[in-house]
Structure 1
Amino acid sequence: MRISAIDAYSTYLFHQGTNYSSYRLFGAHLTSWKQKSSVRFCVWAPHARAVSVVGDFNGWDVKATPMDRAKQGIGLWVAYVPGLHEGTTYKYAIKTASGEVILKSDPYGFAAELRPNTASIVKNLHYQWHDVSWQKSRKEYDSYHNPMLIYEVHLGSWKRDASGEVMNYRDIAEPLAQYVKEMHYTHVELMPLCEYPYDGSWGYQATGYFAATSRYGSPEDFMYLVDTLHKNKIGVILDWVPGHFCKDAHGLRHFDGEPLYESGNPVLAENKDWDTMNFDYGRPEVQSFLISSACFWLEQFHLDGLRIDAVANMLYLDYGKKQGEWQANKYGG
């Protein structure tokens, strides 16, 4: 994957809310640094006093691999670590304004450990696609006038293997494609697959907006599933959840010790009905993060569309709240 330089232009777009490929700027990327194979780590943590990268590679020592403040942008931290390889587990150790050190998964990580573990994994996405004819046919497909029949699927419960275990992305690909064809569906809508910690949420309380959940295999395994469906002339839609995120300690909530992805106003930040946090859509960096996530799934995983969950929660400040529990915006709405 082509990565972005940490320069004035890419950081300007990020802070303006218009860097729609910020996953090329942030996260862990295999690259070359000072003629050595390295991993470049980059994270946004503007309230942090210090940040380091920790993992098995340095014994989770918060002092071993410090990150530097990037010369460009506001609140960006960067480190080049030679000798690391794909599959390395890591987190960011963030020293907050109060002096507390907290461990966070990478918001832009491409892969994550299998629950209950929560570390991010260095991952270079690589897959040989075989859906060229499908990609070409999309340009001619008129979704407004052609029939469309969508089959919604929760991969964890749709079908089990002979021993009763959950099937992985690859094993489920052919049976799902054949069933959908036999039933004459045109598209599959996959329930949320962004990494999430709690099985019972069905993926609607996410932590990893750039990582396909490891419950069912690797990112390449998920690509294989999409590829197989496309080869069978079946479109793929992903249920995507930009309306709220979970409160788990390793996730986005109070990412650098302060509200960052959520509003600093508790009334706006917390979703009490779902026990989750609402994104702060007025913050440009959050806009770059979420739009980049949408583009990432469409571009890197060849998805044909996104079903956006909980839109009402995103639009209406009084959604699910009683009189006196919400605050109007500057227009009174």
Structure 2
Amino acid sequence: MIQVRKERRDPRLGEIDVHLFNEGTHARLYERLGAHLTEEDGQRGVRFSVWAPNADHVGVIGDFNEWHGEATPLQPWGSSGIWTRFVPGLEQGTIYKYRIHSRLHGYRVDKADPYGFHHETPPRTGSIVWNLEGYGWGDDEWMQSRGARQSLSSPISIYEVHLGSWARVPEDHNRSLSYREIAPRLAAHVKETGFTHVELMPIMEHPFAGSWGYQVTGYFAPTSRFGTPQDFMYLVDHLHQNGIGVIVDWVPAHFPTDEHGLAYFDGTHLYEHADPKKGFHPDWKSAIFNYGRREVKSFLLSSARFWLDRYHIDGLRVDGVASMLYLDYSRNAGEWIPNEQGGRENLEAIQLLREMNEMAYRDFPDIQTYAEESTAWPAVSRPTYVGGLGFGFKWDMGWMHDTLTYFSKEPVHRKFHHDQLTFRSIYAFHESFVMPLSHDEVVHGKGSLLSKMPGDAWQKRANLRLLYAYMFAQSGKKLLFMGAELGQWSEWNHDGSLDWHLLHDEGHAGIMRCLAHLNRTYRSVPALHARDASPEGFHWVDARDVDQSVLCFERVGADPSDRVLCAFNFTPVPRHNYRIGVDYEGRWREIVNTDATEYGGSGQGNMGGVESTLVPGHGRRASILVTLPPLGAVFFQPER
């Protein structure tokens, strides 16, 4: 069924709106502030509303009044700090800004609309009047079933995408694909490779492409680089109709200081802290939101809700959570201000994150939120009512760092780093984890995943397939950045395209076939996902074979007979007649072998399966003798 939203015809502010806004609890400000096509007193036009409490004049300017700052003044709405006016005769597509005269310092500036639904394509900075209503959504089936598709017990395998560099059109000045152009190609590729979700690096409007979207100026607008808001709806809708979830990056940790943006909005530090010890981000040279200001909190809550509401987004991945939680993040002694209790915790940011998660799950109980959080902060993915931050999942950055460090070692030295693989079991179930191999690991001189691997070209590809198998066998949801499936040799370049030509080489095509098989196995075998967040779903068989650099463990589903035995050989020396203890007698079918010839491997394996014998092993009453291929992983499942 095609779902068409009814137009919200009256965006005028009411007393309850102003009260909730000033209280810091209004999460639907996008229905009131900004520019809304509407009808008042029998006339069609646009209702403009903007918050600028320290202005003594606010006007809306554009071609319609020859950008004259005095021609179309807005009126203050009581003492709320909001300025508003209905301007008849304006239509969709009108370009506008707000001309703001501060009551302080004689400051005058032209600002884009903080609540604008659409903006000019950078480097132009105007806002555009746009109606979001009337799009014919066709994703009812997805929306009704998505809760079951992305629960703690569901398989979630995420393909992280930068829309501007996934694929380009070299014959047309190397331009990026539009939202509508990329939709069918991306959906087909994601289905072929078996991922369940796409995570879009920030698609909210941003002035500098080199920020990859993480320097946001338009918190309510998909970037116009790739099309209109309805074009972005089409992308989300098309992915949904193909059974693919959509997660978007949301960036409440900081914002850029471009003059047309939020910074120094009305001649004061309105959205950001005035003191640079709290309001300036030393890493990203950007402004930090004043989370303690209630109207700013309403702004951020509304932005988070907006994407879930208007664009049917299935999850928010919150960027830079660690930088929000700690007042001394990336600061030396004397460069930060303690909280009211004398500590380093940012109490206002903590409260915002908790309220954001409570709002998101209350209003959209079938979505998920994901925290990019790299410290030992407790209970990030636990409910707020037990003292947690309320996220659904947390990125496991520790696993990522330890694993990539281990895999970078020459196999002969890996036995000295065995603990980097086993350490995770100490904390693996303290949170509900996503295991990320994200864009951050393939930029800034770090090299691509394939180039990190030691050995010759064959060994590098074998190591990469082994890395993917190790990731998919672990407890936790999965995330891979685009290009991982191709086995890119080069780092990611946001100004170029993925190296799709690599798929003409069988070695690289084999990597993608292997990854697709891992995804399909992960999705179809409950033991590999149903207890991702539960210690009952992971059992060590042998974590101590240091000398041979071999690991063996089992993943177990809700039914104890539903299990998968996973064995890994992290050296190029094949291990023949390797004994592994098992509890179940009978045949164990080999369901994954990363050394298969179709993946570019040497073809060593177990001829489809092995029979157990009543010879004890690893404290179990039976065992199987298997071949562990060089730099390879094998998964076995008991036949029932």
State how far apart, in whole Å, the 2-side matches of 1:75 and 1:42 are. 10
Higher relative contact order (CA 8 A, sep 6+): 1
**How far 1:146 sits from its partner (Å)?**
1.2
State how far apart, in whole Å, the 2-side matches of 1:142 and 1:30 are. 36
State how far apart, in whole Å, the 1-side matches of 2:281 and 2:183 are. 36
Deviations 1:97-132 (A, max 9, x none): 222321000000000001110000000013110000
Contact 1:4 1:10 in 2 (8 A): no
- Structure 2, unaligned runs of 5 or more: 1-6, 344-640
Corresponding residue SS for 1:125: coil
Deviations 1:287-324 (A, max 9, x none): 11001001100110000000000001111000011111
**How far 1:142 sits from its partner (Å)?**
5.1
> How many correspondences in the alignment?
332
Aligned equivalent of 1:217, options 217, 227, 230: 227
2:407 alignment partner in structure 1? none
1:39 alignment partner in structure 2? 46
Contact 2:250 2:318 in 1 (8 A): yes
Q: Counterparts in 2 of 1:12-23, with a 5 A limit? A: 12-23=19-30
Q: Counterparts in 2 of 1:42-191, with a 5 A limit? A: 42-71=49-78, 74-97=80-103, 98-126=105-133, 127-141=135-149, 143-161=151-169, 163=171, 164-191=174-201
Contact 2:11 2:36 in 1 (8 A): no
* Matched residue type, 2:86: Y
Contact 1:194 1:206 in 2 (8 A): yes
Structure 1 window deviating more from structure 2 (4-13 vs 136-145): it is 136-145
Q: Which TM-score applies when normalising by structure 2?
A: 0.51
**How far 1:25 sits from its partner (Å)?**
1.1
**How far 1:5 sits from its partner (Å)?**
3.1
Corresponding residue SS for 1:253: coil
Question: Structure 1 residue 255 and structure 2 residue 265: aligned?
Answer: yes
State how far apart, in whole Å, the 2-side matches of 1:151 and 1:238 are. 11
State how far apart, in whole Å, the 2-side matches of 1:5 and 1:138 are. 34
State how far apart, in whole Å, the 2-side matches of 1:103 and 1:272 are. 27
Deviations 1:136-174 (A, max 9, x none): 102433520011100000000000125232100000000
Contact 2:29 2:298 in 1 (8 A): yes
Question: Structure 1 residue 267 and structure 2 residue 277: aligned?
Answer: yes
* Matched residue type, 2:99: A
**How far 1:4 sits from its partner (Å)?**
4.0
State how far apart, in whole Å, the 2-side matches of 1:118 and 1:243 are. 22
Q: Counterparts in 2 of 1:216-255, with a 5 A limit? A: 216-255=226-265
Identity percentage of aligned residues: 53
Corresponding residue SS for 2:168: coil
Corresponding residue SS for 1:296: helix
- Structure 1, unaligned runs of 5 or more: none
Corresponding residue SS for 2:247: strand
State how far apart, in whole Å, the 1-side matches of 2:256 and 2:150 are. 37
For the aligned residue pairs, the C-alpha RMSD in angstroms reads 1.1
Larger fraction in helix: 2
State how far apart, in whole Å, the 1-side matches of 2:107 and 2:160 are. 44
Aligned equivalent of 1:314, options 319, 324, 348: 324
Rg larger in structure: 2
1:11 alignment partner in structure 2? 18
State how far apart, in whole Å, the 2-side matches of 1:264 and 1:16 are. 21
State how far apart, in whole Å, the 2-side matches of 1:4 and 1:78 are. 11
State how far apart, in whole Å, the 2-side matches of 1:223 and 1:5 are. 26
